[in-house]
Structure 1
Amino acid sequence: MRRNDEIARRFEEFADRLEADGVAYKPSAYRRAAENIRECADPIEDLAAEGQDAVESINRVGDAIASKVIEYIETGSIDELDELRDRLPVEIDALTRVDGVGPKTVGTLYDELGITTLDELAAAAEAEEIRDVSGFGAKTETNIRENVAFARQAGERERLGDVRPLADEVLTFLRRREIVETSEVAGSIRRWRDTIGDIDVLAASTESNQVVDAFTDWSAATNVIEAGENKASLRAEGVRIDLRVVDPDEFGAALQYFTGSKDHNVALRNRAIERDLKMNEYGVFDVSDVNTNNNADDDADIDDRNTQRIGDRIAGETEQSMYEALELPWIPPELRENRGEIEAAAEGALSELLTVEDMCGDLHTHTTRSDGRASREQMVDAAVGRGYEYYAVTDHASGPGMVGGIGLSDDDLREQREAIKTASETRGDEIELLAGVETNIDAEGDLSTGDDILTELDVVVASPHTALGQERETATERLIRAVNHQSVDVLGHPTGRRINERPGLDIDIERVARAAAEAETALEVNANPTRLDLHGTFIQVARDAGATIAINTDAHAPESLAYARYGVHTARRGWCTPPDVLNSFDLTDLREFLH
């Protein structure tokens, strides 16, 4: 299996610990290497098997980092990283999840107060000890105290984008076993929630013991938690994976039941009761002539399957049959949150949701002209490879939130616009290129790019990058001012959140959506799995308000264009159909919207 994510996380930890230890320059090199290892198309373990030169073929991976990759693949550890852990014995991942606490802060607080855990950090903040540390103060201490709860919550769940590749790997592994008739993920990962507690997997087989044995022997498993006749749990890359093997003729019932959500399933069971039916993980049963309690133990882990198979079974082999038994069409997993999907299905009001194949282009991407890791030509090649009709280059403008010299001036943008125009003429038979910008929304809602150049560009994405702790009313008014700007086409990652890192702006999404609909400004679903911003509930509100949705990857490298699938499934959680999404428009309709 691909171990790119696993190794990238090790080098991200390496960078954080080096920075906490006061080392200059090297942390940024390790972070860039981690990004490129994660996005490398080749499995890192295959490159390591070929040797050092193959690993060094990854951009920004030199001989020192390549040797550490090979060391980790061969031994499962990196001596230098272990030494850093010994020197600074802190829970650095947990501590840096607190907004405003970076690696350097972690190092200082360890040196001054001996803080190693979130609990110790919270206790120090409550005791007002942090404010006395040089370089800190009461305001910083208050911010830490107020954000510890978010950090604790974030530590309980993994980001979808970190876990989904592992889920795909385990599905591939199971589906290659001849004894497995079919296999699928269930639970929140199948509903494409933005965070995941663990990975639930179902397999259909008549040889449950053999499937369990194969699963627990999987080479990616770091330890087996438990194993039984038809169930097993293990850990891989620090994530718990729970397998359940079911009879093939009950696979549809189990898939529906274990996909959830709980609220969706409760509503379905109530609908079943109204029709003298019993619905559970084994099927739908006609109990009209049976004296039984339809609700009994449906949420329990029941081993006695016979007690749950009372009555005549009328559905269960497929998910479709489960819904049909309740006089409903099949409901896509992303909608199963009991937010009106059952009522809409009963009324025949569920439309065909957006698919990845409906995407005609990407309207928010970056190149090496700002902070991207690939040239414009490389990015365009990747877009052509995806079969896109159009593609926008929207490098960062200079302004608030842009550090280290990142960001283009108005003159730079004019120069880039001409270059893209020339490139578009050259590649016009392959793809339509659009010249754009990601400009910055300041704390008051003004833009960091001049109006004159904005009117000359094809696509203007305006995004908040700073002042993300504003009060609700201030933040809402700020975004409304931005969407009302005559040149803004897309409001990028509207809340500025980063999943498990910072909550982002607290906004009145209904007011922002109404303003966006009136101004004909699209609201972005940023498909980068660290963002997924807007998220599903906000998307549904925005769609209901009449706002157009744009799904963009915010890609900084060619491989990141594949993030589109996360954006599409997130939009599906918000009930989006192709007409709701700007990127599903053909070029003619897109240009009409933009102008």
Structure 2
Amino acid sequence: MSRNNEVAGVLEEYADLLEAQGVDYKPNTYRRAASNVRDYPEAVEDLAAEGADAVQRIDGVGEAIASKVVEYVETGEIEELEAEREKLPVDIEELTAVEGVGPKTVRKLYDALGVQTLDDLEAAAEGGEIQDVEGFGPKTEQNILDHVGFARQAQERELLGDGRPIAEDVRAFLADLDEVDRVEVAGSTRRWRETIGDVDVLVASDAGEAVGEALTAWDRADETLDLGPTKTSVRANRLRVDIRVVVDEEFGAALQYFTGSKDHNVTVRNHAIDQAKKVNEYGVFDVSEVDDPDAGQRVGERLASETEEDVYDALGLPWIPPELREDRGEVEAAAAGDLPDLLADDDVRGDLHAHTEWSDGDLAVEEMVAGAAEFGHDYVAVTDHAEGPGVFGDSGLSDDDLREQAEEVAAVREDAAIDVFHGVEANVDADGNVGDVSDDVLADLDVVVASPHSGLGDDGGDQTERLIAAVEHPHVDVLGHPSGRLINDRPAMEFDPGALAEAAADAGTALEVNSNPHRLDLWGSVVQTAVEAGATVAVNTDAHSTSEYANVEYGVHTARRGWAEAGDVLNARDADGVREFLD
């Protein structure tokens, strides 16, 4: 896995510090470069190894930024960034996580009150000090108090999209060691939870100390936190990475235990107790002849431990996919033989939500279509933003723009290797209206994605009626990222999942699982509600570049967390099946 996200984060920090100092233009240049580095299909460290000229292949990365990228990859720091940190010694990422607090606000509060951390900010707000700073007031201070808790929670967990690549990287690194017999990712990362606290990796080996020493020498390890024969921890790109070493004979039981979730394991343990058995990280044991089953971890006759399949089988259960292990009825369903046949990566045959340079995408229609074909899709829908509040600045498409774009899409369609749908992503306003696109234009489009982009504050109350009005609109085919959330940045709007799911099922409107790791909206429990109500879901990437088509795996696993089967997913159908749904 590449270091693109890591390098992009450093460039974004530099942009924030420059903006805080009042520097014009350069912050946006660095943010654009950061976005393009993050989305670039090749590993930025490989380009850096070739030199600054190679890094400049990335769009928006000029000579100065390319040199800084090379400097960071080679040394782990950027001299000019260190200088900016000395000028403004604050945790700018932590502080700007509070809604309404931007880099310039951070600078003002540092200068006036010495605020450097989230704790400092909260204390200043609670003490009534912020409202006395010039340019601020009671309303701003209260806004900070209202949102600092969410920001603090966000700092405690990292995006799955940031943690999963590191997890796969360390797994591959360990798998290449001669001392390692087996290795698997565990914990919430393996369950594809949208946020993770740390990366858990399980290793089967008889040489735990050697494995731990090797991990500390891993080129992604920035700091060693703990080193021992059974557990070693390092920090990589801010994330804690924990490896646990067990004997190969007990690997399956340990993997089941350390995958979790805690609630799932409690239910599994109770299921075992009902059969006079005990299950733990060392195996499944028959304790029917044991006077005190709690006398030790390995008391009784061991029935299984080598593989997870063996562990579940010893309890009379089929293997339960990790994504389902959240104690939402999966153990009962397994016992009854009713586990779903979950959606698989290969089941998704196209993407019904993608953007081009007509709005806020990076590439032309032809390039996005070719990229979808190269990725392996059978079809793609071009759905650029329409005009409307909260959409892409002032660059959303008007009716005339959409008609003009339709001509370009038609021309591309003639030579394309895959089917191409033309659509739009329209805004759902506060009343549930699909605004700023006329009904006659909506009627002419192949697919209409309607998404909430404005009025997303967490003080807006219940939004169920708004979303139901959108799914019941006669021209809306897909409700895009329904809650409007940005994980660790903006809370989800409140709504009644059951009511929305029933309305969508009745209206024949699909509910989107937006695969962008910053969204994953809808999420597992709500997808499960939708599936149970008979609603159709669409696993889309909301791609703004061809590299983002690969995010579909996050959407697939999120849908799996919601018990979705291929038959529940609109774009698991072929192009004709999609047309039938849209018509």
- Match in the other structure for 1:129: 129
Equivalent of residue 459 in structure 1, options 436, 447, 453: 447
Equivalent of residue 502 in structure 1, options 490, 506, 514: 490
SS in 1 for 2:354: coil
How far apart are residue 322 of structure 1 and its match? 0.6
The one-letter code matched in structure 1 to 2:419 is: E
Q: Which structure 2 residues correspond to residues 138-149 of structure 1 after superposition, within 5 A?
A: 138-149=138-149
The one-letter code matched in structure 1 to 2:388 is: G
How far apart are residue 127 of structure 1 and its match? 3.0
- Match in the other structure for 2:302: 313
- Structure 2: how far apart are the matches of 1:271 and 1:474? 38
- Structure 2: how far apart are the matches of 1:404 and 1:323? 53
- Structure 1: how far apart are the matches of 2:77 and 2:433? 49
How far apart are residue 226 of structure 1 and its match? 1.3
- Structure 2: how far apart are the matches of 1:263 and 1:22? 49
In the alignment, structure 1 residue 570 sits paired with structure 2 residue 540: no
C-alpha contact 2:285 2:301 (8 A) present in aligned 1:
yes
- Structure 2: how far apart are the matches of 1:141 and 1:459? 44
How far apart are residue 403 of structure 1 and its match? 4.8
- Match in the other structure for 2:405: 416
How far apart are residue 405 of structure 1 and its match? 2.6
How far apart are residue 208 of structure 1 and its match? 2.4
- Give the direction of change, closer, same or farther, for the CA distance of 1:4–1:473 in structure 2 (3 Å limit): closer
C-alpha contact 2:481 2:512 (8 A) present in aligned 1:
yes
- Match in the other structure for 2:348: 359
In the alignment, structure 1 residue 334 sits paired with structure 2 residue 323: yes
- Match in the other structure for 1:79: 79
How far apart are residue 472 of structure 1 and its match? 6.2
In the alignment, structure 1 residue 490 sits paired with structure 2 residue 478: yes
C-alpha contact 2:509 2:536 (8 A) present in aligned 1:
yes
**Deviation by residue 1:278-326 (Cα, 9 ceiling, x = unmatched):** 21111111111122235x7xxxxxxxxxx32212211111100111111
- Structure 2: how far apart are the matches of 1:111 and 1:194? 36
- Match in the other structure for 1:300: none
Q: Which structure 2 residues correspond to residues 381-420 of structure 1 after superposition, within 5 A?
A: 381-420=370-409
- Match in the other structure for 1:302: none
How far apart are residue 458 of structure 1 and its match? 0.7
- Structure 2: how far apart are the matches of 1:363 and 1:109? 44
How far apart are residue 205 of structure 1 and its match? 2.0
Mark the runs of 5 or more structure 1 residues left unpaired by the alignment: 297-306
Q: Which structure 2 residues correspond to residues 195-214 of structure 1 after superposition, within 5 A?
A: 195-214=195-214
SS in 2 for 1:394: strand
CA RMSD, Structure 1 to Structure 2 (Å): 1.5
Mark the runs of 5 or more structure 2 residues left unpaired by the alignment: none
C-alpha contact 1:472 1:508 (8 A) present in aligned 2:
no
**Deviation by residue 1:97-126 (Cα, 9 ceiling, x = unmatched):** 111222222223223333222122222222
The one-letter code matched in structure 2 to 1:290 is: V
- Structure 1: how far apart are the matches of 2:287 and 2:466? 57
- Structure 2: how far apart are the matches of 1:79 and 1:472? 44
How far apart are residue 376 of structure 1 and its match? 1.8
The one-letter code matched in structure 2 to 1:191 is: R
The one-letter code matched in structure 1 to 2:540 is: N
Moved more, 77-86 or 62-71: 77-86
- Match in the other structure for 2:222: 222
SS in 1 for 2:567: helix
SS in 2 for 1:155: helix
The count of aligned residue pairs is 582
Structure-1-length-normalised TM-score: 0.95
Moved more, 128-137 or 360-369: 128-137
- Structure 2: how far apart are the matches of 1:406 and 1:310? 68
- Match in the other structure for 1:531: 519
SS in 1 for 2:528: helix
How far apart are residue 266 of structure 1 and its match? 1.0
**Deviation by residue 1:117-149 (Cα, 9 ceiling, x = unmatched):** 212222222233333444433333222111111
- Match in the other structure for 2:98: 98
In the alignment, structure 1 residue 231 sits paired with structure 2 residue 219: no
Structure-2-length-normalised TM-score: 0.97
- Structure 2: how far apart are the matches of 1:406 and 1:478? 25
SS in 2 for 1:139: helix
- Structure 2: how far apart are the matches of 1:564 and 1:404? 26
SS in 2 for 1:19: helix
Equivalent of residue 582 in structure 1, options 570, 576, 582: 570
SS in 1 for 2:441: helix
- Match in the other structure for 2:4: 4
**Deviation by residue 1:555-584 (Cα, 9 ceiling, x = unmatched):** 111111100000011111111110111110
SS in 2 for 1:507: coil
Moved more, 213-222 or 336-345: 213-222
- Give the direction of change, closer, same or farther, for the CA distance of 1:12–1:462 in structure 2 (3 Å limit): same
- Structure 1: how far apart are the matches of 2:134 and 2:364? 43
- Structure 2: how far apart are the matches of 1:323 and 1:472? 45
SS in 1 for 2:125: helix
Moved more, 373-382 or 153-162: 373-382
SS in 2 for 1:245: strand
- Match in the other structure for 1:165: 165
SS in 2 for 1:308: coil
- Structure 2: how far apart are the matches of 1:131 and 1:473? 26
How far apart are residue 474 of structure 1 and its match? 4.8
SS in 2 for 1:395: strand
- Structure 1: how far apart are the matches of 2:407 and 2:286? 69
- Match in the other structure for 2:282: 282
C-alpha contact 2:360 2:392 (8 A) present in aligned 1:
no
SS in 1 for 2:384: coil
How far apart are residue 206 of structure 1 and its match? 2.6
Moved more, 230-239 or 100-109: 100-109
How far apart are residue 423 of structure 1 and its match? 1.2
How far apart are residue 87 of structure 1 and its match? 1.3
- Structure 1: how far apart are the matches of 2:180 and 2:241? 17
- Structure 2: how far apart are the matches of 1:457 and 1:256? 48
State the identity %: 58
**Deviation by residue 1:63-87 (Cα, 9 ceiling, x = unmatched):** 0100101111222111111111111
Q: Which structure 2 residues correspond to residues 259-274 of structure 1 after superposition, within 5 A?
A: 259-274=259-274
C-alpha contact 1:509 1:538 (8 A) present in aligned 2:
yes
**Deviation by residue 1:150-170 (Cα, 9 ceiling, x = unmatched):** 111111011100111111100
C-alpha contact 2:462 2:493 (8 A) present in aligned 1:
no
How far apart are residue 473 of structure 1 and its match? 5.3
- Structure 1: how far apart are the matches of 2:189 and 2:135? 42
- Match in the other structure for 1:185: 185
- Structure 1: how far apart are the matches of 2:307 and 2:570? 34
C-alpha contact 1:471 1:506 (8 A) present in aligned 2:
no
- Give the direction of change, closer, same or farther, for the CA distance of 1:471–1:216 in structure 2 (3 Å limit): closer
- Match in the other structure for 2:463: 475
Equivalent of residue 499 in structure 2, options 506, 511, 520: 511
C-alpha contact 2:6 2:237 (8 A) present in aligned 1:
yes
